[in-house]
Chain A
């Protein structure tokens, strides 16, 4: 049964009030989401690059790639546990302060949403096999790599469902019941653009992480490892941060016209945020380029500082996009809640 929402079926809010200041909740949401997504990035890119390097090692016969891949697999198995638990807070907050939007968008993809559990468990178990059999299956590289690829492919599917959910929650005017998840991927206009932006960010963040890790290893006297990590990390980081110059605008211009307008002068805050974000990103690219060429410490410091700033501003920006989308519906809801309270009060007086 496919019922298009001719009139938008936006729920009324639940009967219980939100237990705190919404502004404060939003700050918590932005911060906890940034923490969560960084570890998600490290997990997804970690497994992707582990698989890539193992394959490279098999093709070239150069053991250094295999070693790099193994290190990545170990790191990934740590990051994924942290990514999951860090996700609890943002999920909690978004459920509480955007209930009317987030619950509908979740329920519209209810079964695929539940399937994520099975998929993530399967992915994690495969990646544990991948990690713990590295030495055991030295002579069965094909089998070993299959587990890595399997886990990685499953992990790459997960964000698509999450992005569909968060795209859908922003556009009640597009809600449709009875859609398959694959139709939904294409139904909401920002899903794939967000996905591309996420994918590049994931690899860029992993690159920067490897630079830092390589640096630490060198300090600990592990010259070879350090060299290996930094070398690979800086190339990946530079490439994918630069590619964001394409993915970022692609995403931006897929947003709803009215929302774009806000970021192009319509709202001072939004415009300032996006300008700062772009400037910082360009600064990061330049620093990465310089670091790639010189490997000089001051450039590394710039990379780290600018990276932290870019991630923070982007996290905030993302939130402003959400609230810009929802603003018209929120304004409506304020009235509904008041009406609801009045009728409840009237009812209780009658009793």
Chain B
């Protein structure tokens, strides 16, 4: 392999990306995309009905949308890119090349989006009366631009799971028009709207003091929510049925509820039901919706989108780009070469270039860092991924045999890409490292 590896011994690499990504998706979907639509919608309604209260509310929303999207929103977006560069350099490097021109267009749309948002926010006082039309149009353009940024990025995300024809043709258009792009885009569009309503409803209940005005706003929100939930379910189903079979079969496992299918179904259907109930409530008795319920729905919908992103990432395993590259950056077409010639001889930055009697543990460590640490830790917080927990009591031969059939034993792991000698060294290192952490823990416990 070619690049230095950056390890996150406690958090684990996956968690670092997940934290940034989920935060970004929540903000981007709820504030930038769904939020803009609600905001301009309210402004338009206020203008048509000659209701300055609605306009004031839209204006308040615009301030928070501006603050949040241009700080946490924008920086976590760049952040996903930073984090993947540090953690998945081979994957992001390759994706940038495949999708270069899409990303370049994305950049233009981004810049447009930010400029429109700034114009929108700073012209509330100037573009009134006859010019009001222009203010609203700017808002509409802003919503479209926000949605377009998602359109492009979704193509990349979808291609990672279902690169489709690209794997053979290497053609840009095959990568863009991949099998899950459209379903996932449509799904996300309505997720964004539902999420925006879910997050803005408790805020409206707090900041809009006038009861009549609040009712009007919430009723309006209710309409959006109801429509969005229906479409979300429909497009979600389409999306789920277009992922690869192997990935489909991993969904329940990926949610962490393996063997508890009942729970999986109940939790997800329950969450949708609560959202549906609130939508109907907002529509019919907007002022009666308790703030506690609206806050609960906000949490539930953040939970749902978080779950969705985690599951989407997990079911792609062992690949980072399906059928092309594994999560640890090893390409499918490199495995045979590494098995024969050795992984370490073909790697830079690991400090070891072959296994000798003297350096077995060091070589094993290097192999662990390069091939396993993208999903595992020695002793991190996620106990299912921590070797200290998973292979306690295993001996080196046992582990080495297991590693030999890694991908057969568990479909979600890539095959080990190295010689038999390297495999043995890896196993010895892991057994040793696990022993050391458990002795360290015991001594620590005794001292207490």
A residues contacting B by CB (< 8 A) are 1, 3, 9-12, 14-20, 32, 78, 80-82, 84-89, 91-92, 95-96, 99-100, 103-104, 106-108, 110-111, 113-114, 116-117, 120-121, 124-125, 128, 177, 347
Inter-chain contact B78/A99, CB cutoff 8 Å? no
Inter-chain contact B4/A104, CB cutoff 8 Å? yes
Residue from A85, A99, A107, A111 having most chain B Cβ neighbours under 10 A: A85
Q: Which of A12, A87, A95 contacts B2 (CB 8 A)?
A: A12
Q: Which of A17, A111, A128 contacts B71 (CB 8 A)?
A: A128
Inter-chain contact A84/B70, CB cutoff 8 Å? yes
Instruction: State whether A81 and B172 are in contact (beta carbons under 8 Å apart), knowing that A11-B2, A103-B3 are contacts in the complex.
Output: no
28 contacts between A and B (CB under 8 A): A9-B349, A10-B348, A14-B97, A16-B94, A16-B97, A18-B97, A19-B97, A19-B98, A19-B100, A20-B100, A80-B70, A82-B118, A84-B70, A85-B107, A88-B106, A88-B107, A88-B110, A92-B96, A104-B3, A106-B85, A107-B86, A108-B4, A110-B6, A111-B86, A121-B76, A128-B67, A128-B71, A347-B337
Cβ of B391 within 8 Å of any chain A Cβ, yes or no, is no
Inter-chain contact A88/B114, CB cutoff 8 Å? no
State A45–B238 Cα separation when bound (angstroms).
51
Residues of chain B contacted by A177 (CB below 8 angstroms): 4, 349, 351
Instruction: State whether A106 and B114 are in contact (beta carbons under 8 Å apart), knowing that A1-B351, A15-B331 are contacts in the complex.
Output: no
Q: Give residues of chain B (82-96) contacting chain A, Cβ–Cβ below 8 Å.
A: 82-83, 85-86, 89-90, 92-94, 96
Inter-chain contact B76/A117, CB cutoff 8 Å? yes
Residues of chain A contacted by B101 (CB below 8 angstroms): 19-20
Inter-chain contact A121/B104, CB cutoff 8 Å? no
State A73–B67 Cα separation when bound (angstroms).
14
Cβ of B237 within 8 Å of any chain A Cβ, yes or no, is no
Instruction: State whether A96 and B78 are in contact (beta carbons under 8 Å apart), knowing that A14-B90, A103-B89, A106-B86 are contacts in the complex.
Output: no
Question: Closest CB of chain B to A254's CB: distance in Å?
Answer: 26
Q: Which of B20, B74, B85 contacts A95 (CB 8 A)?
A: B85
Question: Closest CB of chain B to A344's CB: distance in Å?
Answer: 8
Inter-chain contact B107/A113, CB cutoff 8 Å? no
List the 9 closest pairs (A to B, CB-CB), nearest first: A11-B2, A110-B6, A9-B348, A81-B70, A124-B71, A110-B86, A117-B79, A16-B97, A107-B4
Question: Closest CB of chain A to B414's CB: distance in Å?
Answer: 17
Q: Which of A32, A117, A347 contacts B75 (CB 8 A)?
A: A117
Residues of chain B contacted by A117 (CB below 8 angstroms): 20, 75-76, 78-79, 82
State A20–B110 Cα separation when bound (angstroms).
22
Identify the closest chain A residue to B346 (Cβ). Answer: A12
Cβ of B103 within 8 Å of any chain A Cβ, yes or no, is yes
Inter-chain contact A99/B104, CB cutoff 8 Å? no
Identify the closest chain A residue to B79 (Cβ). Answer: A117
State A116–B3 Cα separation when bound (angstroms).
21
Identify the closest chain A residue to B70 (Cβ). Answer: A81
Instruction: State whether A11 and B348 are in contact (beta carbons under 8 Å apart), knowing that A78-B118, A117-B75 are contacts in the complex.
Output: yes
State A12–B2 Cα separation when bound (angstroms).
7
Instruction: State whether A111 and B6 are in contact (beta carbons under 8 Å apart), knowing that A3-B351, A124-B75 are contacts in the complex.
Output: yes
Question: Closest CB of chain B to A222's CB: distance in Å?
Answer: 15
Identify the closest chain B residue to A19 (Cβ). Answer: B100
Identify the closest chain A residue to B349 (Cβ). Answer: A9
Residue from B83, B93, B94, B101 having most chain A Cβ neighbours under 10 A: B93
Question: Closest CB of chain B to A162's CB: distance in Å?
Answer: 12
Residue from A16, A18, A100, A347 having most chain B Cβ neighbours under 10 A: A16
Instruction: State whether A107 and B3 are in contact (beta carbons under 8 Å apart), knowing that A19-B97, A88-B110, A89-B107 are contacts in the complex.
Output: yes
Cβ of B72 within 8 Å of any chain A Cβ, yes or no, is yes
State A102–B82 Cα separation when bound (angstroms).
12
Identify the closest chain A residue to B7 (Cβ). Answer: A110
State A47–B5 Cα separation when bound (angstroms).
36
Inter-chain contact A85/B74, CB cutoff 8 Å? yes
Residues of chain B contacted by A78 (CB below 8 angstroms): 118, 122
State A347–B336 Cα separation when bound (angstroms).
11
State A258–B286 Cα separation when bound (angstroms).
73
Inter-chain contact A19/B172, CB cutoff 8 Å? yes
Cβ of B257 within 8 Å of any chain A Cβ, yes or no, is no
Cβ of B111 within 8 Å of any chain A Cβ, yes or no, is yes
Question: Closest CB of chain A to B440's CB: distance in Å?
Answer: 19
Identify the closest chain A residue to B122 (Cβ). Answer: A78
Question: Closest CB of chain B to A212's CB: distance in Å?
Answer: 19
Q: Give residues of chain B (5-26) contacting chain A, Cβ–Cβ below 8 Å.
A: 5-6, 16, 20
Residues of chain B contacted by A19 (CB below 8 angstroms): 97-98, 100-101, 172
Cβ of B81 within 8 Å of any chain A Cβ, yes or no, is yes
Residue from B83, B92, B106, B107 having most chain A Cβ neighbours under 10 A: B107
Identify the closest chain A residue to B99 (Cβ). Answer: A19
Residues of chain A contacted by B337 (CB below 8 angstroms): 347
Residues of chain A contacted by B114 (CB below 8 angstroms): 81-82, 84-85
Residues of chain B contacted by A100 (CB below 8 angstroms): 2
Identify the closest chain B residue to A116 (Cβ). Answer: B82
Residue from B5, B71, B78, B118 having most chain A Cβ neighbours under 10 A: B71
Q: Which of B16, B103, B172 contacts A114 (CB 8 A)?
A: B16
State A121–B78 Cα separation when bound (angstroms).
11
Q: Which of A16, A20, A86, A108 contacts B111 (CB 8 A)?
A: A86
Cβ of B260 within 8 Å of any chain A Cβ, yes or no, is no
Q: Annotate B268-292 by CB proximity to A: 1 below 8 A, 0 otherwise.
A: 0000000000000000000000000
State A100–B4 Cα separation when bound (angstroms).
11
Question: Closest CB of chain A to B353's CB: distance in Å?
Answer: 10
Cβ of B167 within 8 Å of any chain A Cβ, yes or no, is no
Identify the closest chain B residue to A14 (Cβ). Answer: B93
Inter-chain contact A92/B90, CB cutoff 8 Å? no
State A113–B6 Cα separation when bound (angstroms).
11
Inter-chain contact B89/A107, CB cutoff 8 Å? yes
Identify the closest chain A residue to B337 (Cβ). Answer: A347
Cβ of B115 within 8 Å of any chain A Cβ, yes or no, is yes
